[in-house]
C-alpha cells in the first residue's frame, strides 16, 4: 500500500465516522476529517487534521477541497460517510422539509463532494472513493421513502462516477450498511438485540479494504453489510 496517503473523510466524528477515522489512522494514513463542527482535538493523533465544512453547501464544499489541496497537494482517498435520517411517515404524509433534508444530507452532499474531489484525482491518475449509502437504497421499507430514495440516488451517482473514472484508475464504490451498532441506535432502541446489528468497525474495515491496492479492480459495487438481521 502507498505510504502516507491523504484521506478525506466526511462525517468523520459521527457514530460510524469515528470508526472510519480510527481505522484509516491505524493504517498509517493522514486523515482530514470534516463535518460542520469537527475540531482537530476530536482525535488524539498527529496525523489527524480537522477542516470544518457544510457539505450541503456547494461553495463550502469547494472551499474544503481547495484547502485540502493547498495544504496536502493531493487526495488519495475520499470516504464519504456523512448523511442523516428522517422518516416514520408514509409518502402522502411526508412534508417538504423532510424530503429536502434527506435529499440535501444524503444526495446533494455526495454530488458536491464528488464534483469537487474528482478533478484532483483525475489529474493524479489515481484515487479511491467510498460512499456510505444504506441497505434502504436497495431494499426500500415502509415509512422511509425520502431516506430510501435519497440513498438509492446516491448509489446511482456512485455507479455513474465509477464508469466515468475507470479510464483514470479511480475506483468508486458504495457500502450499504443495515442498522449499525452505534451509540445513537442503542439509545434510540435500548430493548433491541444489538448483536444482530452491523458492527461499525466492520464497515470501517471494508472502507479501508476498498481503498487498498488489493481492491484496485473493484469499482461500481454496492456492497451489503447487514449484520445478522433478516
Ligand X SMILES: NC(=O)c1ccc[n+]([C@@H]2O[C@H](COP(=O)([O-])OP(=O)(O)OC[C@H]3O[C@@H](n4cnc5c(N)ncnc54)[C@H](OP(=O)(O)O)[C@@H]3O)[C@@H](O)[C@H]2O)c1
SS3 15: coil
In the complex, least distance from residue 44 CB atom to ligand X, rounded to whole angstroms: 17
Considering only CA atoms, which of 197, 173, 164 is closest in space to residue 183?
Answer: 197
Three-state SS for 169?
Answer: coil
* Smallest distance, ligand X to C-beta of residue 83, A: 2
Judged by DSSP in three states, 76 sits in coil
Cβ nearer to ligand X, comparing 56 with 219: 56
CA distance 185 to 198: 11
121's enclosing H/E stretch is helix 109-124
d(CA 171, CA 218): 7
Residue 69 Cβ, how far from ligand X at the closest point, in Å? 18
Round to whole Å and give the CA distance between 133 and 106: 8
Return the number of the residue (30 or 56) whose C-beta is nearest ligand X.
Answer: 56
Beta carbon nearer to ligand X, 169 or 229? 229
Q: Which is nearer to ligand X, 40 or 216 (CB)?
A: 40
Q: How far is the CB of 10 from ligand X (least distance, A)?
A: 6
Q: By CB under 6 A, name the binding residues for ligand X.
A: 11, 13-17, 35-38, 53-56, 81-85, 105, 132, 134, 177, 179-180, 182, 184-185
Min separation Cβ 213 and ligand X, Å: 25
d(CA 121, CA 163): 14
Grid cell of 222 as nine digits:
454496492
Q: Which is nearer to ligand X, 79 or 92 (CB)?
A: 79
Nearest CB to ligand X, comparing residues 85 and 209: 85
CB of 196 to ligand X, least distance (A): 12
Beta bridge partners of 79: 9, 130
Amino acid at each position: 500500500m502507498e505510504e502516507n496517503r491523504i484521506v478525506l473523510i466526511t462525517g468523520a466524528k459521527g457514530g460510524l465516522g469515528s470508526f472510519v477515522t480510527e481505522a484509516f489512522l491505524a493504517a498509517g494514513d493522514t486523515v482530514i476529517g470534516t463535518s460542520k463542527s469537527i475540531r482537530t482535538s476530536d482525535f488524539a493523533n498527529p496525523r489527524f487534521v480537522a477542516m470544518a465544512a457544510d457539505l450541503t453547501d456547494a461553495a463550502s464544499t469547494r472551499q474544503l477541497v481547495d484547502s485540502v489541496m493547498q495544504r496536502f497537494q493531493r487526495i488519495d482517498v475520499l470516504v464519504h460517510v456523512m448523511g442523516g435520517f428522517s422518516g416514520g411517515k408514509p409518502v402522502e404524509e411526508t412534508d417538504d422539509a423532510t424530503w429536502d433534508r434527506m435529499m440535501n444530507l444524503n444526495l446533494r452532499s455526495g454530488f458536491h463532494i464528488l464534483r469537487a474531489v474528482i478533478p484532483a484525482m483525475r489529474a493524479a491518475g489515481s484515487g479511491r472513493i467510498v460512499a456510505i449509502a444504506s441497505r434502504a437504497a436497495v431494499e426500500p421499507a415502509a415509512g422511509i421513502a425520502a431516506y430510501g430514495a435519497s440513498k438509492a440516488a446516491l448509489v446511482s451517482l456512485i455507479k455513474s462516477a465509477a464508469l466515468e473514472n475507470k479510464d483514470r484508475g479511480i475506483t468508486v464504490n458504495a457500502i450499504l450498511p443495515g442498522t449499525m451498532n452505534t451509540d445513537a441506535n442503542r439509545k434510540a432502541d435500548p430493548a433491541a438485540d444489538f448483536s444482530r446489528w452491523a458492527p461499525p468497525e466492520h464497515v470501517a474495515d471494508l472502507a479501508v479494504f476498498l481503498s487498498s491496492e488489493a481492491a484496485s479492480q473493484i469499482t461500481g459495487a454496492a456492497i451489503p453489510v447487514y449484520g445478522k438481521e433478516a
